[in-house]
Amino acid sequence: MGLELCIHMISLLFFILSGAGADMNVGVYNVKDYAAVGDGQTDNTKAFESAWSAACAVEGTATIVIPEGAYLLGPIIFKGPCKGKMVMQVKGQLLASTHLEAYTQNWLDFQYINGLVISGGGIFHGQGASAWPYNQCPKTRKCKLLPANLVFSFVTNATISSISSIDSKLFHMQIFESRDITLDSIRISAPGDSPNTDGIHIADSTNIQVANSVIGTGDDCISIGPGCTNLTIFNVLCGPGHGISIGSLGKNANEKDVSGLTVSKCTFTGTTNGLRIKTWPSSPSRLMATGFVFEDIIMNNVYNPIIIDQNYCPFANCPEKDPSLVKIKDIKFRNITGTSASPEAIKLVCSKAVPCEGVELNDISLKCTGDDEQAKNMTSTCVHVYGSSNGNVKPDPCI
């Protein structure tokens, strides 16, 4: 008996030390344990806020689990700093409230977090069709912005992967004043005529990577604002939408430079633009856009495959007369192939005040999808551009 008792005590001690006798859910916070109901109708805002508050207060890694189901949510700010790394495992579908009066700004806003993971295959549904008719921003500068789906502000060391964003009321994902973020295997979709539904908008951020994703919206698949450095966009399928755009730049005072961008192995299908740099005329201050590489790109029936527009203005009435003060320099377009929906496949219109410099066109082959006359008359347009081409460019280069 003595030996059996000893063995039993050792086994019990091992059981306790291994943690098997403790609460197995320590560090795991299921929103259903905080009264969340995945019926698509119950307002779960408070339940999600409570789960976040509890997880944020724990040292180490805290995992918030959102199981299968449809969870209706009003606007939430998931705010740090937290004591440890935050993981949000999204299996279900999150539905944005359609009551616009409930929003002061965005839908789901992640702020001041160091160490964040969002994954799980779940869906963030903005239910934007209910709000798009109220968007006046395509018509006038003075407009009220609708809420974006997912916003990351002052976030560092984050990975957002294997999730979908559907029908945001405005931008699907917005990254601001953040660094060291990877977005991988993201799916973003909205109708081609939905206003200002940019897929991913990045501003004032550094070391951001977007990879292996599919984006089709009513605006830019990816838009890059002022103050961005060291961005990488790789293996992204874009369409419908307005392409990948740097800018618009030069609209507001005190904007910061944009430098260090690589876009590679991306495919554009049926988009208005492919690779675009756009700046406003009459810039209130000077800034630079420099060090961009666009390479190994496929265009499928894209209206403006390669475009620099330094007279950008989306409104019917544009009173600005002075040239843009945004300096565009060291821009490389390499190995770009496919088809253009217009005969003007390369359009580089730069500022007479600060002409573009160091623009390279190398190994470009673009054919027109129009009639024989358009295909025969394909052109490149260059205005105030200085640079070079390697001779293997179709349509014939203008630099």
* Residue range 165-179, pLDDT digits in tens: 999 999 999 999 999
Q: How confident is the model at residue 24 (pLDDT cuts 50, 70, 90)?
A: very low
pLDDT band at 280 (very low <50, low <70, confident <90, very high): very high
Ordered DSSP codes for 148-204: PSEEEEEEEEEEEES-EEES-SS-SEEEES-EEEEEES-EEE--TT-TT--SEEEES
Q: Is 117:93 a contact under the CB 8 Å cutoff? A: no
Does residue 106 lie within any of the structural domains?
A: yes
- Rounded to the nearest angstrom, the gap between the alpha carbon of residue 116 and the centroid of all alpha carbons in its chain is 17
Instruction: Examine the pLDDT at 17 and tell me if it is beyond 90.
Output: no
- Split at pLDDT 50, 70, 90, the class of 23 is very low
Q: Out of 125, 172, 201, 242, pick the active-site residue.
A: 242
Q: Is residue 357 included in any domain, yes or no?
A: yes
* pLDDT, position 321: 80
Residue 202 maps to a domain: yes
CB of 273 within 8 A of CB of 239? Answer: no
- CATH assignment of the domain containing 375: 2.160.20.10
Query: What are the DSSP calls for 37-85, one per residue?
Result: --EEEEE-HHHHHHHHHHHHTSSSEEEEEE-SSEEEE--EEEE---SSE
The answer to whether the Cα torsion of 76, 77, 83, 85 is positive or negative is: positive
- For the chain, what is the mean pLDDT? 93
Is 28 among the domain residues?
A: no
Domain that holds residue 306: 33-394
Q: Is residue 337 part of a domain?
A: yes
pLDDT at 46 over 70: yes
The 10s digit of each residue's pLDDT in 96-109 is 999 999 999 999 99
Residue 76 lies in a domain: yes
Q: Report pLDDT digits (tens) over 342-392.
A: 999 999 999 999 999 999 999 999 999 988 888 888 999 999 999 999 989
Residue from 294, 279, 300 nearest 360 by CA: 294
| Number of domains present in the structure of the chain | 1
- CB within 8 Å of 183: residues ≥ 6 apart: 160, 161, 173, 200, 208, 209, 210, 211, 213
The answer to whether residue 22 is domain-embedded is: no
Residue 125 annotated to the active site = no
Reply yes or no on whether the pLDDT at 63 is more than 50.
yes
Flag whether 10 is in a domain: no
| 7 pLDDT higher than 50 | no
